[in-house]
Each structure stands twice: as C-alpha cells, then as structure tokens.
Amino acid sequence: MTVQQQRGHCRAGAWRRHSCLLAGTLARAWHFHAASPALLICACCLTLPAAHAQTGCLGRPYPNTVIQNPLDLTASNGVLKAELTLRSQEMLELPLKACYVYDAGSEQVEAPTLRLAPGDTLDLSLKNEFSYFRHHTTPPPPSPPPHDPCTGGNTATTSTNIDFHGLNIPPDCHAGEATITTIENTDPPFTYKFQIPQDHPPGMYWYHPLRLGSATVQLNGGASGVIIVSGIEKVKPEVAGLPERILVVRQQFDDDDPEAWPPGESELSLNFELSVSPHRPSPVIQMKPGAKEFWRVANAASQAFLALRVMFGKTAQPVKLIALDGVPVRKSVDLRTIELPPGGRAEFIVTGPAAGQEARLLQTEVEIGRTGPESDEQELAKIVATPDAKVPPALVGGMPGATAPAPRPAARPTVVRKLYFAEANNGTIGPTRYFLAVEGQTPRTFKPSAPPAVVTKVGAVEDWIIANRTGENHAFSMHGVHFLLLAADGKTLLNPEMRDTVTVPAWEGEGPYPTVRLRLDFRDPRTAGTHVFHCHILHHAETGGMGKLQVNPQ
C-alpha cells in the first residue's frame, strides 16, 4: 500500500480520517515511530490489501532493541559489486523515511556497510525510486530522454546522487563528483565505479546524497551508510582482535521543510533505533563486562553537532582515540568527550562497564551559538554488561592495506588564504542565504555552474584560515583530499590530525571572529581536478554555503 493510497483512503470518510489522525497523534505522543506503520494500518486501512513493503522503506528497530552492526558487503577478488535502491516512505504525521535498500536475496536490508581494501574497486549501482516531493509543490517533469545524469537535471526532492564522504577519489562523474551529477527517479540504474587508492588511509567513511535541492530531505530521512577502508589494525595494532562496532548517529526531523530554520523538533537515532529516552526505552549496547571494543562512530546527522561521552554512573570514562575522519591519528590520546560535527567520524577503544554497573552512551549539550538550533543532552544508548552479551565479530587482520600512518602535509605553506562563513536574509523575513566565501571576493550563494572560488595548482601547499561571522556553528567539509587541522578557535593544536570535516564555532556577536586554520597539500598530482568544499549542515550547503576549488595540473 502506498502512502498516497493510505491518504486517499483516509480522506474518503471523515471517521476514517479521524482514526488516521488519532493513530498518528498517538504514534507521535508515544514516540512510537518504528511501530507506527502497523498502528496506522490497523487504525485506518483495514479494508485495503496488505502493504507492498518492496516499494517503500523497511521497518526500523523497535525500542529497547540490542544494537547490531549493519550488514557487511565485502569486496572479493578486488571488486565490491552491489546494487542499492533509494526509496522513500511517507507516513501520516511521521517523519519521512528515505532508505538505501539492498536486496540480500532472502531479505531486504537497509544501508549495508561497504567494505573495501585499498586497491579494491567499488562497482555500485544506484536505482532511484525516491517518490516523495515536497508538499504544496508540483513534481517537475523528468528531464527529456535520454537523460545523462552526469550533465545535471531536476533539483526536485525526487532527484539524488551519492557523495562518498571523505574518500580520496577523483572528482569525476561516476566517482567523487556530487554537485552536478543528478539521478532522477525516471532514470535507469546509475553506476558508480572507482578504485580505492592503494595508499588510501584505512578507516571509516560514509555515503549519503548531496544533490542540491534534495540532500537534506533525503539525509534526514535516513539515507546514509558506512564505508570501511580495511587495514586499520596494521597502523593501530591495538585494535586487532577487538569486537568492531559500527555506530551511526542519524537525525530525523518532524518537519521535513528544509526552508525552515532554525529547524523544528528532531530526534537522534543510533543505527536507526530512536534515542528518545525518557519517552521510550533507549537502544541497548551489550558488552562483555570490562572488555575492550573498537567503536567506529559516524555523525550522519544533517545538523546535530555531537559531543559523546561513555558514562559509568555520573562519570565520563576515558576512551582511546584511534582515528578521525577515516585517518588513523598520530597520537592516540585518551578523551572523555568525542566531538563530531555533522559528517565527522571518530574511531576509539571503549572499555566496558562491570556486570550490573549503570552505563550509557550520552550526547551532551553542545554550544551551537546564539542563532543555532538547540542541542540538549540526550541518552543515545544504555550500555549493558553481561557475560553472555552478543558482541559484534572481532576485527580480523590479514587484509591488504597501508602499514604506516598517512603522510603529513609539508611543513610550510606556499599560499595562505582566508575564507569565511556568512549569512544574509532575503528582505527582513525571507529565508536565510548562506555563504562560504573567499575574503576579497563578493559573497555569492553557490551554483554548480559557477566558476571556482579558488584556483590553485598541483604542487601548492595551502593554509586556509576560515572564520565564522555568524551566530551559529558551521561544519567545514572538504572533498577529495584530507587537511591537517592546525588551529581551532585561534589556538594552535598540540596534536594536529588529518580531518575532512571540522567545526567552525559560532561568533558571539563581539570580538574577533572564531577561526580554524587548516593545511591542504596538493603536491600529489592525483589531487588535480575540481573539488567542492561546503558546510556539512546540508541545509546550509543547499542554500549557498559551498564553493569550488580547482586544482590545475602542474
């Protein structure tokens, strides 16, 4: 049963409509989202045929469910060939679902983890069956056939593409290009095909839509999954043999209108299980008492800045940092708070609580700035230690891959540039426009067809000092090449590490603008091409906060 059928049926009779609304209200009141499809069907659609699950999204975990890793799809003989279908499912009064569905034969699975070794080829086919278009708008006509996704297309919420976040791959169509490429829901399956470089850092990456006009709606609906470049145990032997836990934090919004800012109510989820304690029980992470695990956490929220703590009772526990943004760190410091901007990843070793000890994974309150959306404390999961815990499989070694940390940029930059985040309203009450501008240039909202904001050449080593002139945090994210984060909030970092996404903190309204300083190294000829950089609050990117960097061959 499609949503349109549900809605049409409900509108056919006043009492039925009332039942639908009542069911929706109950679902909302109980935060009973995962169970609500059944509730809605019971309440208003008893006379219709059974649901056709294969056309919508899959069920997501019930409250109190033990967290499990997503299904792994692992490359064999140097190739990972897989097919994903992007779908949508609209439920009355519930957040829109957007889902990457993988047909595993006996069952369909949402958002599998793509596992590749350096040197492997990803051969990924994406079928776009996303049918949701924003309310009060008319779906655009499909581009006239034959439509070539590499040339662009509709900017409707039905169009899509994939950004393989953080992978150092060429910015070409069918690979790392993610602002022009447009796959419409009338197109045949589109193939992404590229090789993971032999010297690629081993770590956690992720995939998500970045098509301007639909990316926020689709990401908020849950369209995201993990990519693991294998071999981290070669660089960080302390993780070998530890249970490897994949954790993805997503954020769903009650109102899917991306024009709304600050956005309305939202809920975080962990591996698709909503974390809305105390309204309903939290997800459960089962661990063996006192045992170590290797946690790989992605912030796949479109807006939430994370500050994660593993709490035993009221005390934050130290965790041992292993990698940031897919790159093993040079210095494995102990941290009690893991801060992750939207798009960021952290990998770390957690020691479990004793049997019976109260423990949880906590999102703590984050300073977002005067005009940013609220960010309250939220329990993401209970951590339950029990001797018969079902823990994820241990990280196996023996995969090919890098054996040394990623090389660092040169000690001195050849160019220093200044960029800044800014915002402007259209009139006094119009929607906010976002800018990620180069100092000295007239700020413009981003257009994929616009000339590059920055032009450089292979061989350059650039320092970018990025200021925030707005009252809210932004998340600067660079495609195609990692950067060394040298300074944050004006302070030089003691342990600079490679990153692909970084928080640029809000300006308080007086005093100097907060800045970050990062170093980009273009001495590798493979960095040639046109890359994009943008705010990873995807709504900001979609409404202008993006730019292009052209690296010319030497």
Radius of gyration in angstroms for the set of CA atoms belonging to the chain, rounded to a whole number: 23
User: Closer to Cu ion at the Cβ: 228 or 535?
Assistant: 535
Whose Cβ is closer to Cu ion: residue 212's or residue 247's?
212
Q: How far is the CB of 476 from Cu ion (least distance, A)?
A: 8
| 241-260 residues near Cu ion, rule: CB under 5 A | none
Whether the upstream peptide bond of residue 262 has omega within 30° of 0, thus cis, is: yes
Tell the smallest beta-carbon distance from residue 468 to Cu ion (Å).
Answer: 9
Q: How far is the CB of 437 from Cu ion (least distance, A)?
A: 13
Residue 248 pairs with which residues in a beta bridge? 298
**Beta strand pairing status for 113-116 and 225-229?**
parallel
Site for Cu ion in 410-439 (CB under 5 A): none
HSE on the CB side for 346, CA within 13 Å? 25
CB of 15 to Cu ion, least distance (A): 46
Contacts of residue 119, Cβ cutoff 8 Å, sequence gap at least 6: 78, 195, 196, 197, 198, 400
Of 42 and 424, nearer to Cu ion (C-beta) is: 424
- The token duo for 277 is 């304690």
Q: How far is the CB of 537 from Cu ion (least distance, A)?
A: 4
Query: Binding marks (x or -) toward Cu ion, 521..540, rule CB under 5 A?
Result: --------------x-x--x
Distance of CA 502 to the CA centre of its chain: 14
Nearest Cα neighbor of 214 from 157, 255, 154, 133 is 157
Alpha carbons 8 and 123: distance in angstroms, whole number: 40
Min dist. Cβ of residue 504 to Cu ion (A): 8
482 binds Cu ion (CB under 5 A): no
**Of the two residues 169 and 537, which places its CB atom closer to Cu ion in the complex?**
537
Q: Which is nearer to Cu ion, 159 or 216 (CB)?
A: 216
Interface characters, 483-522, with Cu ion (x: CB under 5 A)? ----------------------------------------
Min CB(130)–Cu ion separation in Å: 24
Report the residue number, 243 or 373, with the smaller CB distance to Cu ion: 373
Query: How do beta strands 319-324 and 334-335 pair?
Result: antiparallel
Looking at the Cβ atoms of 45 and 502, the one nearer to Cu ion is 502
Backbone phi, psi, residue 539, to 5°:
-60, -40
- For residues 453 and 537, which CB has a smaller minimum distance to Cu ion in the complex? 537
For the bound state, the minimum distance from the C-beta of residue 343 to Cu ion, rounded and expressed in Å, comes to 11
Nearer to Cu ion, 336 or 447 (CB): 447
Closest Cα to residue 132, out of 56, 192, 208, 62? 56
Whole-Å CA distances, 443 to 169, 423, 429: 29, 10, 20
Q: What whole-number distance in Å separates Cα of residue 194 and Cα of residue 171?
A: 11
Q: How far is the CB of 534 from Cu ion (least distance, A)?
A: 8
Subset of 451-480 contacting Cu ion (CB under 5 A): 474
Kindly state the tokens that stand for 49: 């045929």
Residues 6+ apart with CB under 8 A from 56: 2, 3, 87, 88, 89, 97
Report yes or no: 298 and 49 within 8 Å, Cβ to Cβ: no
Please work out the total of residues on this chain that contact Cu ion, with binding judged by CB under 5 A.
Answer: 4
Q: What residue ranges bind Cu ion (CB under 5 A)?
A: 474, 535, 537, 540
